[in-house]
């Protein structure tokens, strides 16, 4: 018995095996496939979450601006002609653009063509329109227009605030 445990020479020398120095191509491809599937699931969820957060921020901004306009109206008897008359600082919408404001009671020429309208083409507000053009930055007066679906609107004189497509 040569080099065994009971041998006078002690245990046999360890057989040197080559250690694995990395991953096989198949293992790397499987790992990349798993990573691609997880990314394909996570990215749309994150984008959707980010967009819902922006809509909520726009709704909160509309509520704050509505409160400022209400205070101005109570003091002066009519809504302001511009948002800057009722608010110290007018915020940008979550997409970095100005909020749209239209005083409907001042009788400016061409005002009726600019009023926001529902699916029956009935104006959605009586005193003023206040809205964000949403992610695409485009809008048209009737809410049925596809470019208006992502607008964040104030409707029913403030009873509804949210996405135009949900109104």
**Other Cβ atoms closer than 10 A to 94:** 20
Provide the residue count of the chain: 167
Q: Which two tokens stand for residue 73?
A: 């109206």
User: Whole-angstrom Cα distance, residue 6 to residue 69?
Assistant: 97
pLDDT at 153: 96
pLDDT at 10: 56
| Sequence-separated (6 or more) residues with CB below 8 Å from residue 83 | 65, 69, 90, 99, 101
Report angle CA 112, 130, 138 to the nearest 5 degrees.
Answer: 80
Is the pLDDT at 17 greater than 60, yes or no? no
Residue 97 CA, distance from chain mean position? 14
Bridge-based pairing state of the strands 152-155 and 160-163: antiparallel
pLDDT digits (tens, 9 = 90+) for 42-70: 999 998 999 999 999 999 999 999 999 99
pLDDT for 118 beyond 60: yes
Express each pLDDT in 128-152 by its tens digit: 999 999 999 999 888 999 999 999 9
Band of pLDDT at residue 11, cut at 50, 70 and 90: low
d(CA 131, CA 108): 19
Query: Which domains does the chain carry?
Result: 52-166 (3.30.700.10)
Instruction: Decide if 150 contacts 163 (C-beta within 8 A).
Output: yes
pTM: 0.75
Mean pLDDT across 75-88: 94
């Amino acid at each position: 018995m040569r080099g065994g445990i009971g041998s006078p020479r002690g245990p046999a020398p360890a057989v040197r095996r080559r250690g694995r120095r990395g991953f096989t191509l198949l293992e790397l491809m499987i790992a990349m496939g798993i990573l691609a599937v997880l990314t394909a699931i996570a990215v749309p969820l994150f984008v959707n979450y980010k967009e819902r957060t922006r809509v909520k921020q726009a709704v909160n901004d509309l509520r704050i601006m509505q409160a400022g306009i209400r205070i101005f109206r109570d003091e002066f008897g009519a809504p302001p002609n511009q948002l800057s008359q009722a608010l110290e600082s007018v915020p940008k919408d979550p997409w970095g653009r100005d909020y749209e404001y239209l005083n409907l009671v001042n009788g400016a020429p061409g005002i009726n063509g600019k009023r926001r309208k529902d699916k029956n083409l009935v104006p959605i507000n009586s005193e003023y329109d206040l809205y964000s053009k949403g992610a695409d930055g485009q809008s048209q007066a009737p809410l049925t227009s596809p470019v208006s679906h992502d607008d964040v609107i104030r409707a029913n004189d403030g009873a509804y605030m949210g996405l135009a497509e949900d109104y």
